[in-house]
Amino acid sequence: MTLPKTPSFRLDGKRALVAGASSGIGLACAVALAEAGADVTVAARRVEALEELVNEMSKAGMNAQAMPLDVADVTATQAAVATHGPFDILVNSAGLARHAPAVDTTEEDFDAVAGLNVKGAYFLTRAVARGLLDAGKPGTLINISSQMAKVGGIDRAVYAATKHAVEGFTKSMAIEWGKHGIRVNTICPTFIVTPLTRQTFDRPERRAWVEEKIKLGRIGEVEDIMGAVVFLASDASALVTGTALMIDGGWTAD
C-alpha cells in the first residue's frame, strides 16, 4: 500500500505581507510565517517598531523587511502593494477598537473603526488578490477577524459590526477567486493579551466576564494564533477557503 503524504506546513519560497505587524497578533503572525520559511514584509504605520522587529527577526535567521503602510489609506495601500508585490500570502492584522455603549456611538468613531476594519481590510485584500490575478499565481489571504464576528458584546456594537462584515466579504471573495487558486479565510480569536485589550483587562469586571466565558479557563496569548496562521498560509489547508477558524477557547460553543 502507498501511505498518504502529510501536506507541507513549510512556506519556503513564499512571499508574505503582514499588515499590522508592529504589535500584538500581527507581530506574532509575522514571526510564525518567517519561521516556517516565508520571506515576510512587515507593514504598519510605526516604522521604528517595524525596524526593531526586522532587526530581531534577522538576528534569529528569518527573512523580513519593513514597509510603512496606513491600511486606512486605500490609494496608498493599492500603490504599495502594486510596487512591492505580488505576495503569495496576506495576513491582515491591522485593526482598531473603540468601545462605547451603542447609544453613545459617534459618527467619528464609527467611521474610524469601519474605515480600517472593513474598508481598509477589503481594499488591502483586493490589492493583494489583484497582484496574484495579474501574475496568474495562486495565493492565500487571511484576515484577522474576531469571535465578535459571530457574537456581540457590551459596548461593542460597532466593533462587532465590522468583524461580521469581514466575514461577508471573505466568503464572497473566496467564491469569486477559488477558480484562480486564491484562498480567502479569517482567523477569529477570543480575547488575546495585546495592547488592544488593555482597555478591557484594566477593568476587573470585564476581565472576570472574559475569564468566565472562555471554556478553557484562560485568556489567550499571541502564541495561540501562530500555528493557525501557518496552517491557513500553507498547503496543509489546501482545500480550506471561505471559512472562519475560531480560536476562542470555546466562547462561541454555546
Ligand X SMILES: NC(=O)C1=CN([C@@H]2O[C@H](COP(=O)(O)OP(=O)(O)OC[C@H]3O[C@@H](n4cnc5c(N)ncnc54)[C@H](OP(=O)(O)O)[C@@H]3O)[C@@H](O)[C@H]2O)C=CC1
The footprint of ligand X (CB under 6 A) covers: 19-26, 44-46, 49, 69-72, 93-97, 116, 144, 146, 189, 191-192, 194-197
- Residue with nearest beta carbon to ligand X: 95
- Contact partner, 94, from ligand X, ligand L54DNGAR, none, Cβ < 5-8 Å per class: ligand X
CB of 239 to ligand L54DNGAR, least distance (A): 27
What cell numbers appear for 126 in the block? Answer: 483586493
Grid coordinates given for 200: 478591557
CB nearer to ligand X: pick between 140 and 146: 146
> 3-state class of 154 per DSSP?
coil
Asked if 122 is an active-site residue, the reply is no
Using the minimum distance from each CB to ligand X, give the nearer residue, 17 or 38.
17
DSSP labels for 159-207? HHHHHHHHHHHHHHHHHHHGGGTEEEEEEEE--B-SGGGHHHHTSHHHH
Closest CA to 186 of 221, 145, 236, 247: 145
Could you say which of ligand L54DNGAR, ligand X, none residue 29 binds, taking C-beta under 5 to 8 angstroms by partner kind? none
Residue 186, binding choice from ligand X, ligand L54DNGAR, none, Cβ under 5 to 8 Å by partner class: none
**Which one of ligand X, ligand L54DNGAR, none is in contact with 199 (Cβ closer than 5 to 8 A by kind)?**
ligand L54DNGAR
CB of 3: closest distance to ligand X in angstroms?
38
Nearer to ligand X by Cβ, of 159 and 177: the residue is 159
Closest CA to 24 of 93, 120, 96: 93
Whether 188 contacts 147, CB under 8 Å: yes
Confirm if 62 and 68 have CB atoms less than 8 A apart: no
Of residues 87, 122, 123, 159, which has the active-site annotation? 159
**CB nearer ligand L54DNGAR, residue 46 or residue 203:** 203
> Which residue carries 488592544 as its cell?
196
* Contacts with ligand L54DNGAR, residue ranges (CB under 6 A): 97, 99, 146-148, 156, 159, 190-191, 196-197, 199-200
Q: List the strands of the sheet with 182-189, edge to edge.
A: 63-68, 39-44, 15-19, 89-92, 139-144, 182-189, 244-247
> Quick one: 14 or 156, whose CB is closer to ligand L54DNGAR?
156
Q: Which of ligand X, ligand L54DNGAR, none does residue 32 bind to, with CB < 5 to 8 Å depending on kind?
A: none
- Please check whether residue 25 is in contact with residue 193, taking contact to mean a CB–CB distance below 8 angstroms: no
Active site amino acids: 159
